[in-house]
Chain A
Amino acid sequence: MSAPIVPDGRGVIPEEELHAFVDEQLAPERRDAVAAWLAGEPTAAARVRAWQAQRNALRAAFAEPAPPAPSLDLMRIVETRMRRRRRLPWAIGGVAAAMVLALGLGGAAGWMLRGEPANRQAMALSLLEQEAFATHAVYSVDKRHPIEVGATERDHLTQWLSNRLNRRVAPPDLGAAGWHLLGGRLLATERGGAAALFMYDNQQGQRLSIVMRPMAPDLATPEPQRMGGAVNGSAWIVGGVGYAVVAAAPQDEITEVSKLVRQQSPAA
């Protein structure tokens, strides 16, 4: 197939290599060797020049920029696909899409772009995050009544919320990270279910929220998903419970707290 090139430039270069020369797919040494050979082969050189001209003309002819196509907007395709698959009402699809945009293409689109179960998972995580952000926004700023049941009644709090959620939920011990339990409260989910909030504060008086809510048993996310926004957070699902940690604290701290919560969650 590949006849060697003799040093004086004679010999035959296989046609494949001439095409590769035209298509700029040769390694530099080979390219130079072929160019040298062509210098002494006018007929082959003419053929190669014709191919090169053809290639350039083709590129020019097809390089014409296509008019913009709104139907090919990738984010719109992602949204439409999610909405259709989940048969979601427009409003929720819109919220999910807004979450995609709010979190940036990276994080959110990342989980939304896997198959069907991942989409449900992504939706579940989105809802959980929205819920956690809203909860933190409302209750963490409330000086006098951030919680319903205080840390002094920890056992009662645990029992009460576990009963209402029909799952074992308990306030994790975050002392190692410098956060101390204030107490907790019952929350309502958008589907009419019960969720739990545990609130903590630190020495600087900052507050941190942990939201837990029941999830479909088949949903699970291997790693906490980082949430964006003015406050930081992370959310994950394990053992039929969705967890979200939110605070106006650096992401590193959120990650540390998330680790503690995971270590102490019953399904961990």
Chain B
Amino acid sequence: MAGPSVMAGMEACIPALRRYAWALLRDRQEADDLVHDCLLRALDRLHTRRTDAELRPWLFTIMHNLFVSRTRRARVRSGTERLDGWHEATLGHPPGQEDHLRWKDLVRAVGELPEDQRAVLLLVSVEDLSYAEAARVLDIPIGTVMSRLSRARERLRRITEGEPAIPLRRVK
């Protein structure tokens, strides 16, 4: 049953949903549209939600599915990979200029990750979802979450540090 706690819980998730949507889309307007659609769909389905299910992963799942179908539609329309505006990304005003450059590099590097790796990395690193929750949100096995996370982190490290990737286990 939808009670006050569910409404309050949904409200509390909005900043995280916006952050994730923005990280996926890199466009404030598009991101907020995605969150808006996600909230609407969640309201429509609130009565189908199992009460023991966690609200946050549930909302992320709805949003992820909307994102996937939207991206797919956009691809079909344009016949190509969508241009996501990552390279034009502007950030806020972090304290130091040096920091600003580093953040900008990092955010750009995240943008260069394949979409599936980016999603795992953000859900786990930024949104604090457990590996099991991330697996449910993305509808993939937990092993796939781990391998995508590993590839994302190594790729990001290579991009930002300009180092070649070395499989960890061979290093002794």
Contacts and interface: CB of A to CB of B under 8 A. Distances in A.
B146 interface: yes
5 contacts: A50-B161, A69-B32, A72-B14, A74-B14, A111-B2
A43 B171 contact: yes
B36 A114 contact: no
Contacts of B8: 105
Contacts of B7: 74, 105-106, 109-110, 113
A104 B4 CA distance: 8
B150 A15 contact: yes
A74 B19 contact: no
Contact of A115 (B36, B47, B121): B47
A54 B40 contact: no
Interface stretch (A17-25, A178-186, A234-242): A17-25
Interface of B: 1-4, 6-8, 10-11, 14-15, 18-19, 22-23, 28, 32, 35-36, 39-40, 43-44, 46-47, 91-92, 94, 102-103, 106-107, 110, 121-122, 124-126, 130-131, 146, 149-150, 153, 156-157, 160-161, 168-169, 171-172
Given A59-B126, A74-B11, 11 more contacts: A12-B169, A51-B153, A54-B157, A59-B125, A61-B103, A62-B122, A66-B15, A72-B14, A78-B43, A81-B40, A110-B1
Contacts of B121: 58
B58 to A, nearest CB: 14
Given A57-B102, A72-B35, A62 B19 contact: yes
Interface of A: 12, 15-16, 18-20, 23, 25, 43-44, 47, 50-51, 54-55, 57-67, 69, 71-72, 74, 77-78, 81, 104-107, 109-111, 113-115, 118
Contact of B36 (A12, A18, A77, A111): A77
A16 B14 CA distance: 30
A14 B91 CA distance: 36
Given A16-B146, A58-B121, A66 B22 contact: yes
Given A19-B146, A64-B91, A109 B47 contact: no
Nearest to A109: B7
Q: Which 9 A-B pairs have the closest CB atoms?
A: A106-B4, A113-B2, A114-B47, A64-B92, A43-B171, A61-B103, A55-B125, A69-B32, A105-B7
A16 B2 CA distance: 37
Interface of A is mostly: helix
Interface of B is mostly: helix
Given A59-B126, A71-B32, A54 B153 contact: yes
Nearest to A116: B44
Contacts of B172: 43
B91 A77 contact: no
Contact of A61 (B14, B43, B107, B168): B107
A220 to B, nearest CB: 15
Contacts of B161: 50
Contacts of B168: 15, 18, 44, 47
A109 B4 contact: yes
Contacts of B150: 15-16, 19
B91 A72 contact: no
Question: Among B7, B47, B160, which residue has the most Cβ atoms of chain A within 10 A?
Answer: B7
B171 A114 contact: no
Contacts of A114: 2, 46-47
Contacts of B22: 62, 66
B124 A77 contact: no
Nearest to A16: B146
A72 B131 contact: no
